Amino acid sequence: MPDVAPVANRHDDNHDLMNHPPNAPKNDAPRVCICLLPCIQCSMDIPWLSSLQGRLIVSCQALAHEPLHSSEIMARMARAAQEGGAAGIRANGPEDIRAIKAVVDLPVIGLFKDGSDGVFITPTRSHVDGLIAAGADMIAMDGTGRPRPNGESLADLITTAHAGNIPVMADISTVEEGLAAVAHGAEVVATTLSGYTEYSLQQEDPDFGLITRLNEALAIPVFAEGRISTPAHARRALDAGAFAVVVGGAITRPQQITRTFVEGLS
């Protein structure tokens, strides 16, 4: 991992005077900041990002081998999530994203899973291009330093997303990966991969400690994601410093929900 200092220490308290004049005009596109690294102020220039603060994003995904695999079903799941009060949706693949955006008016964080080993969450620039074309409002990608297909790098993928005027969520598993992702230009980091890389903390509960450490080290939003299975988990994630909380299987995978009841009866 590159030796990157915590972002908070790389920003002067008065940087707003240069980078964010109080009367500067705003537009609907993320701006490129002249700060050394992305900062919370710059991230908040994404017009809809503030609507997610302290709220729930529902991950509506069903893989090819799962019973609910269908873009139409995922769109209906997203509608149900919106009716329940979700502030945003996380969705997999161009087809699902297009179907979801046709029926909800929430921000959609898009990713593109390809395979199941190593780096498989939006692994290449081609996948990024597909998500841009589908209309994703933000692109989530593997933010670890593991090898990617075609010799591409995280920086390559972030640059591709930014060229399409789309901000990036880096899915990471350690503080060091979060720091590196921010250095490459990610606007948001998420704890998605904690416990899913061999070198990160392995446990059944969410990694609340990582949320806190990231929040202390970074000046951009930290999204809590991964093994958040109860409202109490979600509340604790916010208390640990998360900007917002992403919940998937505990809401949108009935086979997983059923299993918890079955196991509870045994």
CATH number for position 172: 3.20.20.70
How many helices (H) and strands (E) the chain has is answered by: 11, 8
Q: How many domains does the chain have?
A: 1
Q: How confident is the model at residue 134 (pLDDT cuts 50, 70, 90)?
A: very high
Q: Is 193 part of a structural domain of the chain?
A: yes
Q: Is 27 part of a structural domain of the chain?
A: no
Q: Is 93 part of a structural domain of the chain?
A: yes
Q: Is 67 part of a structural domain of the chain?
A: yes
User: What average pLDDT does the structure give for the chain?
Assistant: 88
Statement: residue 9 has pLDDT above 80 = no
C-alpha–C-alpha distance, residues 152 and 149, integer Å: 6
Q: Residue 161: its pLDDT value, please?
A: 98
Do 45 and 25 meet the contact criterion of CB atoms below 8 Å apart?
no
Do 96 and 74 meet the contact criterion of CB atoms below 8 Å apart?
yes
Q: Is 41 part of a structural domain of the chain?
A: no
Amino acid at 158: I
Q: In this predicted model, what pLDDT tens digit does every residue of 48-91 receive, in sequence order?
A: 999 999 999 999 999 999 999 999 999 999 999 999 999 999 99
Q: Is 26 part of a structural domain of the chain?
A: no
C-alpha–C-alpha distance, residues 248 and 254, integer Å: 11
Q: In this predicted model, what pLDDT tens digit does every residue of 153-180 receive, in sequence order?
A: 999 999 999 999 999 999 999 999 999 9
Q: Is 4 part of a structural domain of the chain?
A: no
Q: Is 28 part of a structural domain of the chain?
A: no
Range of the domain at 73: 49-265
Statement: residue 16 has pLDDT above 60 = no
Residues in Cβ contact with 166 at an 8 Å cutoff, skipping those fewer than 6 apart:
30, 131, 132, 136, 137, 138, 139
